Structure 1
Amino acid sequence: MSVIERGTVYGTLMNFRGELDAIGAKMSEPPYKAPPQAPVLYVKPANTWSENGAVIHLPAHVPEVEIGATVAMVMKSATEVAGYILLNDLSVPHDNFFRPPVKTKCLDGFLAIGDRVRARNEAGDPAVFKLQVKVNGELKQTVRFAELVRSADKLLADVSEFMSLRPGDMLMLGCDTGRPRARAGDRIEISMPALGTLANTLAAEAA
């Protein structure tokens, strides 16, 4: 299907069981003192968007990045999903989840977006989605969406309880733990038969 005009792109934190388990007891510490009851979202603004095949430049103070291979729901309306798309939600490696991830996730070009939106009825059940992540042709990670805390439908329903999504908005299903890292000069490929391949090369930012 054709790509719908893009709206706002939302990321979802702690929606993989492994990610939630890795944080563990920290969620009961101040300032939150309890695990979240609703989905934890963040925004990837337009300055972060990179197209499939684009070169993504890393600032001098960022020697490497974490690869966040994921799938997003592309909205047809506030409650209806038009289809699914591959994303690479890059971030600066960090271990602090207490602060909004603006400085680590919202750098220029830090969201690679696939060029294929596969209709919901063609892509199949997101619970069986499986992504392969390769760096320079070497398999580094397999992401299995059977490990989601909230299924795609549950995530959308829970998010819709406190905010309205608009046509073209994208809602990521989340990124699993064990995210590979990449540096300038590396080529990243994220693939899944139903959604194709999202490929980008990293480069050092010009001085």
Structure 2
Amino acid sequence: MSRALHDVATGTLFGVALNYQGLLNQHLTEFEQPPYQKPPIKPVLFIKTPNTRNGQDGVVVHPGAGERLQPGPALGVVMGQSASRVSVDQALDYVAGYTIVNEFSLPEDSYYRPAVKAKCRDGFCSIGPELIPAAQIPDPQKLDIKLFVNGEVRQANSTANFVRGVAQLIAEISEFMTLHAGDVLITGTPEGRVDVVPGDRVEIEISGLGRLINHIVVV
């Protein structure tokens, strides 16, 4: 049985950048240049601030003429108990369940320094429609993920293509900070982000988790 998200997913929203192998491969040449010299060796994290929270059938305001808005289909992992320095083998025991996240953003100039102005506008993190208990998703690395814009598939990928699986992400992040019950881990968006405009209906579908719908508007 699904659980009400608003009762469980009440904590911090942690995003993970560059967690699809295809997206990472697209940027390897960039990462080999100064000052970095190599790809990131640990998860690249960012935070979606509380004002970004949105939900099923919620509206997302387009930033206006001359700006680009891009949806970001992602698997959301909701922590069920606090996790500190947990092993990969034990990590999934700390998960309450899974949900869909649409991590809206303006195009990113740097994955090493995600911009607050691009990532943290009002309504830019839609979550839902519900929380599916972890027991109903035996393997979070075998989920198909699709983005629809006005009924047309614009992105399709699989969590099998993660750079780091859910358990590894929890283990590596909990090495240096505690993940608390209610925190939401946004496990990354795949390569091929597309632009949306006012009037568009944006939907994300993930195997076994349902479909999350948002509407793009202009003020």
Following superposition, the deviation at residue 139 of structure 1 comes to 1.1
Following superposition, the deviation at residue 29 of structure 1 comes to 2.3
Instruction: Specify the alignment match of 1:67 in structure 2.
Output: 71
Following superposition, the deviation at residue 31 of structure 1 comes to 2.8
**1:48-197 correspondence runs (5 A):** 48-60=52-64, 63-79=67-83, 80-197=94-211
* Percent of matched pairs sharing the same residue: 36
Instruction: Specify the alignment match of 2:14 in structure 1.
Output: 10
Q: TM-score normalised to the size of structure 2?
A: 0.88
Structure 1 gap segments, 5+ residues each:
none
Q: TM-score normalised to the size of structure 1?
A: 0.93
User: Secondary structure at 1:32's aligned position in 2?
Assistant: coil
Aligned residues: 205
1:38 and 2:42 aligned: yes
The residue type equivalent to 2:41 in the other structure is Q
Change (3 A) 1:99 1:62: farther
Following superposition, the deviation at residue 28 of structure 1 comes to 2.5
Following superposition, the deviation at residue 61 of structure 1 comes to 5.0
CA contact (8 A) 2:60 2:216 kept: yes
Instruction: Show CA shifts across 1:49-96 (max 9, x none).
Output: 111111111222564311110011100112300000100001112343
Instruction: Show CA shifts across 1:144-169 (max 9, x none).
Output: 11101111111111111111111100
The residue type equivalent to 2:27 in the other structure is I
Q: Matched residues in 1 for 2:81 and 2:214: separation?
A: 30
The RMSD of aligned alpha carbons is 1.5
Change (3 A) 1:156 1:98: closer
The residue type equivalent to 1:177 in the other structure is E
Change (3 A) 1:61 1:49: farther
Moved segments of 4+, more than 6 Å? none
